[in-house]
Amino acid sequence: MRYDFMILDVFTDRPFGGNQLGVLTDARGLTAQGMQAVAREFNFAETTFVLPPDDPAHARRVRIFTPAVELPFAGHPTVGTACALALAGLSPTGEIVLEEGVGPVPVTIAKAGEAYSARLRLDRGPDTFAVPPAGDMAAILSLGVAEIVDVFAASVGVHFTYVQLRSREAVDASRLDLDAWRRLLSSSPAAQIYLFAGELKDGGEIYARMFGPGFGIAEDPATGAAAAALVGHAASRVGSLDIAIHQGVRMGRPSLIEASAVAEGGEVRSIEVGGATTLIAQGSIDVPEDYLER
């Protein structure tokens, strides 16, 4: 059976930057096995599969797959899929709700000229997890422990261990030691690593990378779910804030993620993450019958 798809670059306003996303705008009839096979074939960090919503008040249901696993939520697939629906004439601009594994996710789509952007909202703070020792993270990242400022673990649906480093140069110098990762972190709930430099304060600029070996992602150019948990974690400590996150620079796919959180008395009320999306290509893919519902 033939399925239409779109390829978009998310968290960038220019082609060939940001994070690539494949979107099947009508994935009805595909099995989960078929979705995973298509995601492996595209081999982007994530591919999304759009389905009719369970609640007719919502725009669509969205399933998100990396080349290796299905995710309950992810930022650049949420932002990019919302823009894809608007580009395809399947959704209006303004606020829509996408059903994902974590539940309903409100997304606001905007259009300026021919350019589209979107901003997702989560009405809760991040969950936290046990933190690995700084020495373990230094070994995993092939760094000296003196380069590490802080280590914490947080999630808004996808779990990350965060490593704050002293400088952008240390972020760029980091190299994932897979043997150390397998030995020291792979069995942790927060096995994916988000490393960054910069101040977590209102108006702060963050420089980041993300290694996701458990998801089949060597390095991610833009990680919206990690940005959401990061800004939520910061808000629980310092109060409401807006930050700009630069990621994918070392990979040659620069991205810009805008993230904000509202907090009162240390309790996070809401988190927003957004950015621009650029349409790269459209086409169709033939999926063998073995991957179709019977």
Q: How far apart are CA 33 and CA 30, in angstroms?
A: 8
Q: How far apart are CA 201 and CA 258, in angstroms?
A: 13
46 is catalytic: yes
Please give the structure tokens belonging to residue 51.
């389905």
Sign of CA dihedral 216, 231, 233, 155: negative
Q: How far apart are CA 147 and CA 164, in angstroms?
A: 9
Catalytic residue chosen out of the listed positions 46, 99, 100, 258: 46
β-strands 192-197, 159-165 pairing: parallel
Q: How far apart are CA 194 and CA 220, in angstroms?
A: 10
Amino acid at 184: L
CB contact burial 239-249 (16+ within 10 A = b; e otherwise): bbbebbbbbbb
Contact indicator for 101, 64 with CB cutoff of 8 Å: yes
Name the maximum alpha-carbon separation found in the chain: 57
Q: What does the CA dihedral 276, 278, 283, 284 come to, rounded to 10 degrees?
A: -20
Nearest C-alpha neighbor of 109 from the set 99, 121, 100: 121
Amino acid at 91: S
Contact indicator for 275, 11 with CB cutoff of 8 Å: yes
Catalytic residues: 46
